[in-house]
Amino acid sequence: MRKYVLALDLGTTGNRAILFDHDGKAVASAYREFRQYYPKPGWVEHDAEEIWRGVLYVTRAAVKKARIKPAQIAAIGITNQRETTVVWNGRTGKPVYRAIVWQDRRTADVCEQLKHAGKESMIRQKTGLVLDPYFSATKLSWILKNVVRNPSHPSLILPSGRGGKIFSPPLGGGVRGGELKFGTIDSWVLWNLTGGKMHATDVSNASRTMLFNIHTRQWDDELLKLFKVPREILPQVLPSSNEFGTLDSNILGAPIPITGMCGDQQAALFGQTCFNRGDLKITYGTGAFLLLNVGKKPIIPKEPLIATIAWQIGNEITYALEGSVFSCGAAINWLQNNLGIIKNGPDADKLASCVSDSGGVTVVPAFSGLGAPYWDPQARGVISGLTQHTRKERIVYATLEAIAHQVADVIDVLHKEARYIILQKVKADGGVAKSDLVLQSQADFSRVRIHRSAQTESTALGAAMLAGLAVKFWKISELQHITNTARVFTPIMNKIARDQKRSQWIKAVACSRNKNI
């Protein structure tokens, strides 16, 4: 009987289930979006129960579409949007509040207060993270303060359909009685998949909470005290390829082992088989995420990058450095939806191919500030080098180059921080990686060979691989042959042209940050 591994990819806008065969081929999939809530400026929330209902739907739909028996599923792997925070009542199974999404900025003032109190360095040394509302700790602290310990807080009455929805804190035992549970989306879904039997996460997701010491690989008492988080509500932390419990038989009609769990960007690094120190993965999506495998010891960067746990298999742990670019596919969407000069994403490459270069035009798509390595929320978009002869083709060309420039900025910092690590392999995936101009510019600006992946579902595949390893569905040696390179882009731009392009970019970035050079 042919066997498969089921991957559950729990994203920011929807849930996807994909069945992979032994060759790493996706044989069936299902997807369902869920609603985004914006109750106040800077607030972003999800309905955790809607996410769970979506997971149920896509799981059953993918198996039905594949026309297989549940017993043919060897294992289940989970990958998820990171940092998004859920608190629920372990007795009733109900969330006490909506999930606060990783994009949410409501705790920015708390982070500023902690910086002024001199806590930033301690947090960075223990967690590898920058002190930012992006991570889970301040979100969890907000829920504990404003919902659990203060149920009359006005924030609890939020728009839901035609009326209002009031979220109630857990009754009875509460925080100290072990009734309350915290988790990122992986923990919430796992708890439901196992019928409430497993409250756990893996090291990669734990490392994004700002409560986890990446050196000791334990929840940190000093951080828990700082954020006023009781240890009793935290999930058990396990390796990424490990036994996470068994699927409740009522869901598919058969008990199936859940044996893989990993945050989405770390899962993509694994799915791209970046198993060796010096392997770099770039995912070109709405934003761009770069993860560099730095091996078995963490590097706490001086520059504003993030140190994170990539994964753990058995007792062997792998660390990574991470940089995030805010505007990647978002810049192409701007050309389409705001300027109306392209009809769709692929149209950008077609239009740009009508000219040989940007004609001296530089675009800085800082629509919501700049991410790594600047972390400047006040930066704003810039178009420089315009003349009366500038045509739309030049602006499109410059916008595609801007994506490569932003990623090159992060690669330059990665070189400085990991100066003893030689880049071995650079893998590119994501929707924007289909652009030849972006990847050729990336190779030229960063002076590295870029391998465009043939695998379009590297995040889900990474979760499947971790799950499959745990049940011996695959051997680690077999995984290298699953992800293939569709095309390699080699640097061809001469040094003078490259230096001129990069110099123009640096000047334009300075303008976007309103700083003199």
pLDDT tens digits, 348-384: 999 899 988 998 999 999 987 888 888 787 788 999 9
- pLDDT number for residue 29: 94
Query: Was 431 annotated as part of a binding site?
Result: yes
Read off the pLDDT band of 517 (50, 70, 90). Answer: very low
Same-domain pairing of 346 and 252: no
Query: Was 32 annotated as part of a binding site?
Result: no
If you write DSSP's letter for every residue of 129-180 in order, what string do you get?
A: --SSTTSHHHHHHHHIIIIIS-TT-GGGEEEETTEEEE--PPPTTTTTTT-E
- 469 part of a folded domain: no
- pLDDT number for residue 170: 43
Q: Give CA–CA dist 416/74, Å, rounded.
A: 43
Same-domain pairing of 140 and 181: yes
pLDDT at 162 over 50: no
Same-domain pairing of 282 and 259: no
- 224 part of a folded domain: yes
Residue 492's domain comprises 275-454+484-517
Query: What is the CB-side half-sphere exposure of residue 138 using CA atoms within 13 A?
Result: 21
Query: Was 318 annotated as part of a binding site?
Result: no
pLDDT tens digits, 457-470: 888 999 999 999 99
Q: Supply angle C-alpha 58, 60, 64, rounded to 5.
A: 110
- pLDDT number for residue 108: 86
Quote the percentage of the chain above a pLDDT of 70.
94
What integer best gives the mean pLDDT of the chain? 89
At which of 235, 264, 293 does a domain end? 264
Query: Was 196 annotated as part of a binding site?
Result: no
Same-domain pairing of 368 and 502: yes
pLDDT at 173 over 50: no
Q: What are the tokens at 107?
A: 């705790």
Q: Tell me what the mean pLDDT of segment 153-168 comes to.
A: 42
Same-domain pairing of 250 and 197: yes
- pLDDT number for residue 241: 97
- 459 part of a folded domain: no
pTM score, whole prediction: 0.85
Same-domain pairing of 304 and 226: no
Query: Was 186 annotated as part of a binding site?
Result: no
- 470 part of a folded domain: no
Same-domain pairing of 376 and 355: yes
pLDDT tens digits, 42-69: 888 999 999 999 999 999 999 999 999 9
Same-domain pairing of 205 and 102: yes
pLDDT tens digits, 248-274: 999 999 999 999 999 999 999 999 999
pLDDT at 301 over 90: no
Q: How far is CA 392 from CA 334, 339, 345, 354, 387, in A?
A: 13, 10, 15, 10, 12
Q: Tell me what the mean pLDDT of segment 378-394 comes to.
A: 89
Query: Was 83 annotated as part of a binding site?
Result: yes
- Inter-residue contact 191 to 183 (CB < 8 Å): yes
- 409 part of a folded domain: yes
Same-domain pairing of 254 and 292: no
Q: Position of tokens 């731009």?
A: 493
- 394 part of a folded domain: yes
Same-domain pairing of 120 and 26: yes
Q: Which of 144, 120, 293 is nearest to 229 (CA)?
A: 144
- pLDDT number for residue 172: 38
Count of domains forming the chain? 2
SS3 state at 42: coil
Q: Tell me what the mean pLDDT of segment 403-420 comes to.
A: 89
Q: What is the CATH number of the domain that holds 378?
A: 3.30.420.40
At which of 199, 233, 264 does a domain end? 264
- pLDDT number for residue 178: 58
Q: Tell me what the mean pLDDT of segment 95-102 comes to.
A: 91
- Inter-residue contact 237 to 219 (CB < 8 Å): yes
Q: Which residues pair with 31 in a beta bridge?
A: 16
Same-domain pairing of 260 and 280: no
Same-domain pairing of 294 and 213: no
- 226 part of a folded domain: yes
- 57 part of a folded domain: yes
pLDDT at 224 over 80: yes
pLDDT at 456 over 80: no
At which of 264, 292, 319 does a domain end? 264
Query: Was 286 annotated as part of a binding site?
Result: yes
